[in-house]
Amino acid sequence: MNNENNVSQVNSNVSAQKDNSGKNNGKQPRARGELKAEFAHVLAFLNSCTLYQADAVRVMVSHATGNGKYEDIDPADRLAVNRFLNHGMNKTNTLTADAVMSFRVGRSEVLLNTVTQFCNQAQALKATVALMRITTDAEAVKTAFDRLPDDNK
């Protein structure tokens, strides 16, 4: 999905607030209602996110839309994605390392479906490759398996 096209469509449907004061060098301030609608949209998105999802989306969209390579993703940001990928695992639903990998792949699909809403096709491909590398990182999978909690606590 190309966000640039969506932004221009959204902005063409919003009426601008008139500036009757003659100030601001001819620039028209954004209408208060327009700002509230934008904030409501962002808040609705954040409220729809699961635990760790908003941070993981931030990392993946930032990587996808940036110029950096996979290796340039900050370790703290990789940790944020791993937290999302591992959330919900326990010794009951992931008995083996293979089960951990399968769980993480399923979670990466959820994350990727969210991330692609903010990316064009080339960016989505970049996000997919990076997420695949994070998801299948043998060390991260082993660490997740070794640290599995006993139940859903």
CA terminus-to-terminus distance, the chain: 37
To which residue do tokens 């990392």 refer? Answer: 59
Q: What 8-state DSSP symbol labels residue 69?
A: -
pLDDT, tens digit only, all 153 positions of the chain: 433 333 333 333 333 333 444 444 556 677 777 778 788 888 888 898 889 999 999 999 999 999 889 999 999 999 999 999 999 999 888 999 899 999 999 999 999 999 999 999 999 999 999 999 999 999 999 999 898 887 755
CA dihedral 8, 10, 11, 17 (to 10 degrees): 180
Task: Write the CA distances from 114 to 6, 33, 35, 83, 111, integer angstroms.
Answer: 16, 27, 23, 16, 5
At 87, list the tokens. 């959330």
